[in-house]
Structures are given as C-alpha cells and as structure tokens.
Chains A and B, each alone.
Chain A
C-alpha cells in the first residue's frame, strides 16, 4: 500500500512536514522546561530558553577583586584581573560604574570612580583599577556591563533541588515520600486484582457475571466522591492521614481497571492448560501462582505502568489522605504546586523541580512503552 496509485510526491512531502511540525509542537513545551533547568536564574530572566544555544546580550552586575588583591606599583595601588573566567569568550559592548548609567563607557575607556581611583575595562573583561591611595574595604567596586555572553549550562539547579537547597527548594525528602507512596500503591493492587481476576475468569461460583458488571460500572465512578466519606472512615479507624491510608485509597481507586484488564487477559489463556494442571492435582492457588501469573506478565506489566504513573503523578489523593499539617509526608507534586505559589518567578528552581519529578515516569514510559500501549488497547477497545 505504500505506493498506491495517485500518491503524489508533493503530498508525501506535505505529510512528512506536517508530522515534523506536529511532533515539534508537542515536544516544544517540555523541551523548554528541560533547557531552563540547566540555565542560571540570570540567563532565564534575560533571554528566552529557545535562545539558550546562542550567545546572548545580557546586562550583568559584576565585582572586581577585593582590595586584599591589590599590588603596589611605584606610587600606585593597583588591582588587575578579569571580570569573566579565563576561558569564556564573553565580549563587553558597554559598561558603567553606577546602576543608573550601566552603559556610560565603551570598552577601553577609563572611568573616574566617585570614591577615588580610576577603572578601565577592556572588551574581553580584563580590567585595571588604579588608585593613588591604598584601597580599603572588604569588597571591590561593582561594575555594570552589557556583554555578549556565550551559552552556558549549569548543574547547579539540580544540586540545589536534590542536595543543598533549603526546605522549600529541596526535593530529596519529597522524592523518597513519593516513592514510598508509589511502590506499595503499585504492588498491592496488582496482587489483589490478580487473585480477584483469576477468580472471576476461571473459578465457578454464583454471582460471577453480576460482579463483572459491577466492576465495569465502578470503572467510571469519580474518585472525588470518595474523599470525605473515606477521610472520615480513616479517622474513625485511627489511621488518619498517612501512608497506609494513601495506599489503601490508591488500591481501591486502581482496582476496577486492574481487575478489568487482568480478567480480560486471563480469560484468553487456553482452557487446556488450566484443566491439565487440575487433573494433575494442582490446587487453584498453585495454578494461579505457577501458571497464570507467569503467563499474564504482559497484562500485569501494563497495569503496573499505569498504576505507577497515576500514583507518582497524583496530587489530589495525596493531599487528602496523606499530607498532614507537619508537611513531613509531602510528595513532589504538592511541593511543586507550593513552589508555583510562593516562587512563581524562580524558574530555575521551578523548572528543575518539575523535571526531577517527571524524570522517573518519563524513564519508565520510554522503557516500558510497549506494555503501556498493549494495556491501553486491551482496556479501551473491545
């Protein structure tokens, strides 16, 4: 069918181009966040991330070396050095000595400082500060420069977010909390659902058809309904807000789809295999653990990915059932929402935190995509 009659080359090219366009459009927002997470706050604030790959003109505030570096040359006290690190290729187009006139001088010119002394700055950032008297103070004078700065990327944001940041910036605790929620909330429903699916697929008992219909109905019940009754219930049985409660909630909400997917898959396993095992004297428990579970791996994997993605990405259930006033058990999604509120402008922290939180699901997604698609197809199309 690739070379059907009437297919014109122009059409083929239009097709390819539109796919490239569509993919670009879909990728562009995420790419923006990824690039931003490797830039410094100054860079993010002064140029769009799509220009991060190119040199950009920026207004920077720099300081020359402190007076402790001064040397005596004849009658003069001199501080010499560079405004940029040795190996950068930044180029200064204008500079100044006060914040009000940041572009008063051209590179190579010499400025009189108000507190005495003269300063000259060259285009490559080399400067020379001269004074007839000994230079005092702790810090060197500030220099305002307009410079073309080469693209620069840093891992500093990741260090802040993962290791060194203060309590609002640091995601390490929230990361482990999210894992603590996610792993049991993925494994428990699979176990429970697998046993139930086996019973619904291969065991004879009254009311089976009714149960299957009920589960299909429960597939669409919005979990919003469950919030208040279950919060009350959790408080009454004494688990309050905590990990056990959130696991139970995720298990309950994930079960209908899990049972539905797994039952549909298990029904397809050939009857002969199960009956032969029964004749050989295997109990249902043995059949289930030794035959059905290994055979159902694709369905188990696809549900595991779904459940993992949901629980990892969940905000509502964690806010209602897990996070208490102490904030000790906060998860990443919640912490990011808080950052959005308090640090709306700090894109370097926000972008990096968001990327830390989406890195794990993205990894799982690309590694296990085959199973995810299989599960989607089994679950949505009959």
Chain B
C-alpha cells in the first residue's frame, strides 16, 4: 500500500474515533439514559446537565492523568527501585541516586545545565528585548520581526543541521565552507577550529542554536508589552529631558518587568527540556552533556531505568519552583 494512502486511513481512523466519542456519548445521554421527554422531563434534563461536564472532560482528564500526572508518581517509584532480571522490581531506596551522584557524567550534565540556564534565557531575553525595541518604530519593523521570529518554526534538528554547517571545519589549506572558520581564518586565525570539540566553549556554540530559536519568541511577547506602555510616562520623561537610553532602561524596562520574568521562566522551562540539539550535534561528547540527554542515555542506551528515572526526577525538581509559582498565580487570578 502506498504510504500516503496508509497514512490517510490511519488518520481517518484516529480522528474519526475521537469525533465519534463526543457525538455518540452525548446522543446516548440525551436520548437513551435521560431522554428529554416523558414523565420526568425536568428531572432528566437536570440530571443530564450534571453528567455532561464530566462527559466533556472525560477524555481530557484521562489523557492528562495518564500522560502527565501518573508518570510523575511512577517515575518517582522507578527511581527508588531496581529492575529484577526476569521481570518485576524491588525497592532499593536511594541507591539509584547514590549511583547517579557518583558518576562524573552526571555532574558534567548538571554543571552544563546550569550554564545553559544562566546563559540561554538571559541572552534570548536580552536579544529579544533589543529586537523588540529596535523594530518598534520602523515602517518595515514587522517584516524584520517575522524574519527574526522565523527560527521558531524550525525544528531543533533542522537548526542543528543549519548550525553544523556554520561550524563546519575543512582540513587546513582547503577552502573553508563553514562561515565561522572562514571568518576565523580571514581575520588571521591559524588553521580551522573544530568548534564543537573544544571543551567548555563548545557548550556556548550549542547554546547559540537555542538562543537563535528563542529570541523570536521573547521578541514577540516583549514587543507587545512595549506597545502596552502608556505613552504619557514616556512623554513625561522626554519633557524632563531623558535621553533614549534613559527612557529605555529607566522608564520602559521597569514597566514591563513582569513580562520579562514570564518570558525568562518560559525559556527556562524550554532549556530544562532541551534534548534534540545536544543529541543531534554532539550527543554529549566533548563535555557537552546535559540532563535531558544524560537521561535518554541512561534509559535507552544503558537500559538503566533506575538511574534514568532518578535523573528525570532531578529535572522535575528543577521545574518544581516554576510549577508552584504558576499555580499560585493562576489561583490568585481566579479569585
């Protein structure tokens, strides 16, 4: 069978099943269980309306519970147990965590992750703010914004290929086809550099890819925030004789501080989960390991579910403050 036809069939099956559930479950509720006719019409309608919200929510609750809530508990359980040969598992307490903490690769991943957490959100937000402010009053600002925003649509893997070409190195003496080496040699560098294999600094070359992707996101949101600043405050500052830099740093930035924090946290979450870039570009070699890739290594290469789950819990631990803060904000808003 042609893959296109096979694809279409599977699509029809999947989507059809979903539409069918909502249509028929409501039909059954209204016609069969509590029909809106006969002697008990009022009572039936009331009862149907009590059940219907749960009918609407059921697939979502099932999916959320199964795919997000249950794994948190289950991963926690796996992180304190060991798989036994022949199936089953036994409780081993914190042994997996101890084993993980004894591994140099874990500390390397943790250190690199902190480096990513320091650099990427800061750089993306800063570039985004710069781009938002610069394009704000330009006639062709929207086109410029679209182009800076564009990498958001590119996959991490696609971006990895794009940047691999930038960092490419050819043997000495031949012409360099990677822009970075071409520039490096043009400005008097001696010999091409294998950028991705230089310990410590290669982390920054990987981070550059994520910064390149996330800047557009920060720019879009910060640009909306900048537009929301009341004109009067800026005008008052101008009347008082403030220069453009003073206006920007002392009037505008403080007013959009809340938005900057939101952008910062959102990018922080992305950074914690970042996996594809490291996986595709260096696969954690040359001291570029990060937690997410370390975990994948443990789970699917070393087949060590215990330590893998323990490292997943470390990632969970790192997002926990953001989770609490989000819920706190949401509850405050509901009131």
Contacts and interface: CB of A to CB of B under 8 A. Distances in A.
Interface of A: 1-2, 4-7, 11, 15-16, 18-19, 22-23, 26-30, 32-33, 36, 44-50, 172-173, 176-177, 179-180, 183-184, 187-188, 191-193, 195-196, 198-200, 203-205, 209, 211-230, 233, 243-244, 247-249, 251-253, 255-256, 259, 283-285, 288, 309, 312-316, 319-320, 333, 336-337, 340, 344, 347, 350-351, 353-354, 357-358, 361-362, 364-366, 369, 372-373, 376-377, 380-382
B179 A222 contact: no
B126 interface: no
26 contacts: A15-B134, A23-B144, A26-B216, A30-B150, A172-B3, A177-B3, A177-B7, A179-B7, A199-B52, A203-B56, A213-B334, A217-B327, A219-B326, A220-B319, A220-B322, A222-B269, A224-B292, A225-B316, A233-B66, A309-B153, A313-B155, A316-B276, A337-B157, A361-B153, A364-B153, A369-B149
Contacts of A23: 144, 147-148
B272 interface: yes
A366 B66 CA distance: 35
Given A191-B18, A316-B276, A358-B155, A347 B165 contact: yes
B297 interface: no
A203 B131 CA distance: 43
B3 A230 contact: no
B63 A229 contact: no
A27 B147 contact: yes
B80 interface: no
Nearest to A30: B162
Contact of A333 (B130, B155, B212): B155
Given A4-B238, A248-B63, A333 B144 contact: no
Contacts of B182: 48
B220 A377 contact: yes
Interface in B250-294: 259, 262-263, 266, 269, 272-273, 275-276, 279-281, 292
B164 interface: yes
Interface of B: 3-4, 6-7, 10-11, 14-15, 18-19, 22, 26, 30, 49-50, 52-54, 56-57, 59-61, 63-64, 66-72, 74-75, 78, 127, 130-131, 134-135, 137-138, 141, 144, 146-158, 160-166, 168, 175-179, 182, 212, 215-217, 220-221, 224-225, 231, 234-235, 238, 243-244, 259, 262-263, 266, 269, 272-273, 275-276, 279-281, 292, 295-296, 299-300, 305, 308-309, 312-313, 315-316, 319, 322-323, 326-327, 329-331, 333-334
Pairs of residues from A and B, 3 with the lowest C-beta to C-beta distance, nearest first: A252-B67, A313-B155, A196-B60
A312 B157 CA distance: 11
A340 B280 contact: yes
Contact of A376 (B4, B220, B319): B220
A30 B151 contact: yes
B249 to A, nearest CB: 16
- The B contact surface, by secondary structure, is helix
A228 B78 contact: yes
B141 to A, nearest CB: 8
Among B66, B147, B151, B153: residue with most chain A CB under 10 A: B153
Given A313-B158, A380-B263, A218 B296 contact: no
B76 to A, nearest CB: 9
Given A22-B144, A228-B312, A229-B71, 11 more contacts: A176-B6, A195-B22, A203-B49, A205-B50, A212-B330, A224-B295, A230-B67, A252-B67, A340-B281, A376-B220, A381-B262
B43 to A, nearest CB: 16
B74 A229 contact: yes
A205 B63 contact: no
Contacts of B244: 6-7, 11
A256 to B, nearest CB: 7
A284 B296 contact: no
Contact of A48 (B19, B155, B163, B175): B175
Contact of A6 (B26, B177, B238): B238
Given A176-B7, A217-B326, A253-B68, A26 B151 contact: yes
Contact of A195 (B60, B127, B150, B152): B60
Given A29-B162, A253-B68, A221 B323 contact: yes
Contacts of B296: 224, 316
Contacts of B19: 191
A357 B221 contact: no
A324 to B, nearest CB: 13
A19 B138 contact: yes
B212 A26 contact: yes
B157 A315 contact: yes
B3 A253 contact: no
B35 to A, nearest CB: 12
B256 to A, nearest CB: 10
Contacts of A336: 157-158, 161, 280
Contacts of A362: 150, 153-154
Contacts of A26: 147-148, 150-151, 212, 215-216
A320 B300 CA distance: 9
